[in-house]
């Protein structure tokens, strides 16, 4: 296996030498890319001697003449690890800036990205850094959180590079689980639906599609062939996921039933509108002094229809409930003929609609349940697939 180790200019750069060795012990061929600032702390000679591989430093470096190293290295890598990752490097990665070899290589890479930040605690807490970390994590990067403690600049707080064993474990987990769902077809419904009132207005809900996107990303990471039937949502999907866009529940129903043929896993993460407007007006409804009555007719239950049409698939639903009582979710699971249902208590802060975090209770048909911690939606999605794979 090949790892690209990006080293940026933190005092912790000296610890990247140990990390390179430990990654080699874990079976990786390690090729190191140093930023200019990293070279103020550590040298090319150190890493070339340690790894037995050439280092990349300048965007136009070509260890093999005529071959574009940023593309070659990005293609050959099984994983890209940036440790230590400084605030500047994280912010450039989040913005998609490619103004040196490391950031250019990361832009050219489709491989898993593991980031181990190390910096002054204030720089870590800065809104720009936190926003970049959130964005990178949303895109699927694995963040190995820095530790609390005294940092080299004399301050105390969160900013110390995580331990080398912890970084190596995160890298191994990222690459080693990537074939568990190989050859498996996963279909996910995601986001809200929109039910038109007239040609310019609609009924919808607060779903952002972030959980569906995280589930798709995690399944892709596990090697699955992933299709998402996505309502109009803001969350992005990583390349490699096939995204089928729909607006209404009826469209989602029709497309999902076709897409799910032969699926091994079907996940209903969409917040489907339960009703559509039966007396929809074409054109634009005009304001009058009278009351306006909308007639709402029930939409099909998509996940129930998917479960009925695909008896060979493992079908899992979601249930956003304003309560911690799991009996409501359990009843839904039975009613819809599901293998399991992931309940989240949306009466609690940080869980459910349009948040970056979530906490799930996964309830199985036999009544057993397992609960996650409060985690980022990406971590929650990885937890979700771990549990489903254990049980199915
Ligand atoms: N679901 C669906 N089609 C619908 C409604 C819900 O596929 N028309 C799916 C959701 O994607 C989710 C699960 O069913 O996986 C539970 O959704 P939820 O809205 O909680 O359940 P409802 O059936 O709408 O029940 P209630 O209105 O009682 O909450």
Percentage with pLDDT > 90 across the chain: 73
Architecture label for domain 185-281+288-391: 3-Layer(aba) Sandwich (3.40)
pLDDT of residue 335 exceeding 80, the answer is: yes
Which residue, by CA, sits nearest to atom 20 of ligand 1? Answer: 319
pLDDT at 178: 64
- The lowest-confidence range among 37-51, 80-94, 139-153, 361-375 is 139-153
pLDDT of residue 84 exceeding 80, the answer is: yes
Question: What number of CA atoms fall less than 13 Å from residue 87's CA on the CB side?
Answer: 16
Question: Of all atoms in ligand 1, which is nearest to the CA of residue 336?
Answer: 14
Which of 154, 164, 157 has its CA nearest to residue 26?
A: 164
Which residues does a 6 A CB cutoff place in the pocket of ligand 1? Answer: 189, 249, 268, 270, 272, 274, 299, 301-303, 317-320, 332
Question: What number of CA atoms fall less than 13 Å from residue 70's CA on the CB side?
Answer: 18
Question: Of all atoms in ligand 1, which is nearest to the CA of residue 317?
Answer: 15
**In the chain, what are the domain boundaries?**
2-175, 185-281+288-391
For residues 282-309, average pLDDT: 97
pLDDT of residue 193 exceeding 90, the answer is: yes
DSSP secondary structure, 195-262, as one string: EESSSS-EE--S--SHHHHHHHHHHHHTT-EEEEEE-S-S----TTSEEEE--SHHHHHHHHHHHTTT
Q: In whole angstroms, give the CA distance from residue 103 to residue 118.
A: 17
The values of phi and psi at residue 105, to 5°, are -60, -45
Contact 107, 98 (CB under 8 A): yes
pLDDT of residue 174 exceeding 90, the answer is: no
Place of tokens 């074939």: 179
Q: In whole angstroms, give the CA distance from residue 197 to residue 78.
A: 49
pLDDT at 324: 85
For CA atoms 375, 227, 224, 132, the dihedral sign is negative
CA of 341 to the centre of ligand 1 (A): 11
User: Which distant-in-sequence residues (6+ apart) come within 8 Å of 288 by Cβ?
Assistant: none
CA of 220 to the centre of ligand 1 (A): 25
pLDDT at 71: 86
pLDDT of residue 390 exceeding 70, the answer is: yes
Contact 22, 51 (CB under 8 A): no
pLDDT of residue 109 exceeding 90, the answer is: yes
Q: How far is CA 123 from CA 26, 98, 100, 229, in A?
A: 32, 21, 21, 39
Place of tokens 């940080």: 350
Q: In whole angstroms, give the CA distance from residue 272 to residue 192.
A: 6
Contact 297, 275 (CB under 8 A): yes
CA of 327 to the centre of ligand 1 (A): 15
Q: In whole angstroms, give the CA distance from residue 388 to residue 13.
A: 39
CA of 269 to the centre of ligand 1 (A): 9
Q: Is the peptide bond before 310 cis (omega within 30 degrees of 0)?
A: no
pLDDT of residue 253 exceeding 80, the answer is: yes
pLDDT at 60: 84
Q: In whole angstroms, give the CA distance from residue 86 to residue 16.
A: 13
pLDDT at 64: 82
pLDDT at 177: 59
The values of phi and psi at residue 135, to 5°, are -65, -45
DSSP secondary structure, 67-88, as one string: S-HHHHHHHH-SEEEEEEE-HH
Q: Do domains 2-175 and 185-281+288-391 have the same CATH topology?
A: yes
Q: How does the average pLDDT of the chain come out, rounded? A: 93
Q: How confident is the model over 87-104, as pLDDT tens digits?
A: 999 999 999 999 999 999
- Confidence band of 151 (pLDDT split at 50, 70, 90): confident
Catalytic residue list: 153
Let me know if 87 is exposed, middle or buried by CB neighbors in 10 A (0-12, 13-18, 19+).
buried
pLDDT of residue 351 exceeding 90, the answer is: no
Q: Which residue has the higher pLDDT, 271 or 152?
A: 271
Which of 74, 60, 84 has its CA nearest to residue 31?
A: 74
Fold annotation for 2-175: Rossmann fold (3.40.50)
Contact 232, 194 (CB under 8 A): yes
Question: What number of CA atoms fall less than 13 Å from residue 25's CA on the CB side?
Answer: 10
Residues constituting the chain: 392
Q: How confident is the model over 19-72, as pLDDT tens digits?
A: 999 999 999 999 999 999 999 999 999 999 999 999 999 888 888 888 888 888
């Amino acid at each position: 296996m090949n790892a690209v180790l990006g080293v940026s200019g933190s005092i912790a750069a000296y610890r990247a030498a140990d990390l390179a060795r430990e990654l080699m012990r874990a079976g990786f061929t390690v090729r190191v890319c140093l930023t200019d600032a990293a070279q103020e702390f550590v040298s090319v000679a150190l890493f070339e001697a340690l790894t037995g591989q050439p280092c990349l430093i300048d965007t136009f470096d070509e260890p093999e003449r005529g071959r574009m190293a940023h593309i070659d290295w990005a293609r050959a890598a099984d994983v890209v690890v940036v440790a230590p990752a400084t605030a500047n490097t994280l912010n450039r990665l989040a913005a998609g800036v490619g103004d040196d070899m490391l950031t250019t290589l990361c832009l050219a890479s489709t491989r898993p990205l593991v980031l181990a930040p190390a910096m002054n605690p204030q720089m870590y807490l800065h809104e720009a850094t936190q926003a970049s970390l959130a964005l990178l994590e949303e895109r699927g990067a694995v963040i190995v959180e820095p530790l609390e403690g005294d940092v080299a600049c004399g301050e105390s707080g969160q900013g110390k590079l995580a331990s080398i064993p912890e970084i190596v474990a995160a890298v191994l987990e990222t690459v080693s689980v990537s074939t568990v769902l190989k050859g498996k077809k996963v279909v996910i419904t995601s986001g809200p639906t929109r039910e038109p009132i007239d040609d310019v207005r609609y009924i919808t809900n607060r779903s952002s599609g972030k959980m569906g996107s995280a589930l798709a990303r995690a399944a892709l990471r596990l090697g699955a062939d992933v299709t998402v039937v996505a309502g109009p949502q803001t969350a992005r999907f990583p390349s490699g996921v096939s995204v089928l866009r729909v607006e209404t529940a009826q469209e989602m129903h029709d497309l999902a039933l076709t897409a799910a043929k032969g699926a091994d896993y079907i996940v209903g993460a969409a917040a489907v509108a339960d009703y559509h407007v039966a007396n929809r007006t074409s054109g634009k409804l005009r304001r009058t002094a009278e009351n306006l009555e909308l007639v709402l007719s029930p939409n099909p239950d998509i996940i129930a229809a998917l479960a009925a049409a695909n008896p060979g698939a493992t079908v899992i639903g979601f249930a956003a409930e304003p309560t911690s009582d799991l009996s409501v979710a359990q009843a839904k699971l039975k009613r819809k003929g599901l293998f399991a249902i992931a309940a989240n208590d949306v009466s609690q802060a940080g869980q459910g609609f349009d948040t970056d975090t979530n906490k799930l209770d996964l309830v199985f048909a036999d009544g057993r349940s397992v609960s996650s911690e409060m985690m980022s939606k990406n971590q929650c999605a990885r937890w979700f697939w771990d549990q489903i794979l254990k049980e199915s």
